Amino acid sequence: MSREGLITIRSSFDPGETMKRLEDEVRAKGLTIFAHVDHAAGASEIGMQLRPTDLLIFGAAKGGTPLMQADQTIGIDLPLKALVWQDEAGATFLSYNDPGYIAHRHGLDVRVKAVVDALSGVLRAIAGKATNVQ
C-alpha cells in the first residue's frame, strides 16, 4: 500500500492504544493538539459502520511558521495530521504526510530544508513510539 507523500507504519497495538500513545508522544515533544476527529464515531452517528479511523491534528508555530513565511499556501497542509486506522484484516496502521512531500508540493526549496528535516525527524520519532516500531 503505497500512496505518494504518505508514510504508513503498521502498529504493534490496537487502534485505541496506538492513538493514546500518539497523543502522549505529541505532548511529550511539546506540540499542541488542535483536534481529534473520530471518523468511526461520526459514521456511527448517522447509522453507518466504519472500522476505527481516528485523526489527530497537531503542531507548533515554531515548525509551521517558517514554512508559511516561505509560502503561505503550505498553510492548507498545516497543522500536521496523523491517522490511526484499522484495515479489514484487523491490523492497525498510523499514516502521516511526509513533510518533504508537503514542502515539494508548495515549491519550497533549500531555504526550508532544515525545518523540513527537523519536522521529518520529530514525526518519525513520534510515529515510532506510538507504533512500537523504532
pLDDT at 95 over 70: yes
pLDDT at 110 over 90: no
Q: 26-47: per-residue pLDDT in tens?
A: 999 999 999 999 999 999 999 9
Percent of the chain exceeding pLDDT 90 equals 94
The average pLDDT across 51-57 equals: 98
Q: Considering the entire predicted model, what is its pTM? A: 0.94
CATH classification for the domain delimited by 6-128, as one of 2.60.120.260, 3.40.190.10, 3.30.310.70, 3.90.1150.10: 3.30.310.70
Whose cell is 485523526? That residue is 55
How far apart (Å, rounded) are the C-alpha atoms in residues 51 and 77?
Answer: 25
The average pLDDT across 96-118 equals: 92
- Average pLDDT over the chain, rounded to an integer: 95
pLDDT at 1 over 70: no
Residue type, 83: L
Residue type, 133: V
Domain ranges in the chain are 6-128
Structural contact between residues 12 and 120, judged by C-beta atoms closer than 8 angstroms: no
